A = this chain, B = another copy of it.
Amino acid sequence: METLSLNQATTIVDAALATARESACAPLSVAVLDAGGHLVAFKREDNSGILRPQIAQAKAWGALGMGIGSRALAQRAEAAPAFFAALTDISAGRIVPVAGGVLIRDSDDHVIGAVGVSGDHPEKDEVCAAAGIARAGLKADVG
């Protein structure tokens, strides 16, 4: 299994933000976590809200925690709200069920990390996350 490098994570963050500027997104926060859920690289654009760092990380962490993208987590949360209320406590607030948390897979389809983007509509956040992963030559799994 490949290990996500800082170089790759930096590429992902910068490409996600470049995509955000090209598509006139609201100010974003972008977090890249390794397979163990630990922060590797992060940027918060000027005027991106002060809870955005936690939300971006929680989108990515939740994807890693459950093994599916946060868009799929959002769908499951609608169907099972009590289960997801419990998950937020079990994970000590490290999971958030809304699109914008995307798994990073290597060429062998192993999960090597996740990207979380927060600041605009979840669908636009997700597009930026996936674009960043693609720029790094890795596979985006939106779930």
Using CB atoms and an 8 Å cutoff, list the residues of chain A in contact with chain B.
Answer: 1, 3, 5-6, 9-10, 34-55, 58, 62, 64-67, 74, 77-78, 80-98, 110-111
Our pick among B52, B84, B86 for the contact of A95 (Cβ within 8 Å) is B86
Residues of B within 8 A of A51 (CB): 62, 64-66, 87, 90-91, 95
Q: Are A39 and B36 in contact (CB under 8 A)?
A: no
Q: Are A93 and B96 in contact (CB under 8 A)?
A: no
Q: Are A49 and B64 in contact (CB under 8 A)?
A: yes
Our pick among B46, B86, B91 for the contact of A97 (Cβ within 8 Å) is B86
Q: A91 CA to B96 CA in the complex, in Å?
A: 11
Q: A37-B50, A65-B50 are in contact. Are A86 and B96 (CB under 8 A)?
A: yes
Q: Are B87 and A55 in contact (CB under 8 A)?
A: yes
- Shortest A39–chain B CB gap in Å is 4
Q: A93 CA to B54 CA in the complex, in Å?
A: 13
- Shortest A31–chain B CB gap in Å is 8
Q: A85 CA to B90 CA in the complex, in Å?
A: 12
Smallest CB gap from A68: residue in B: B49
- Shortest A56–chain B CB gap in Å is 10
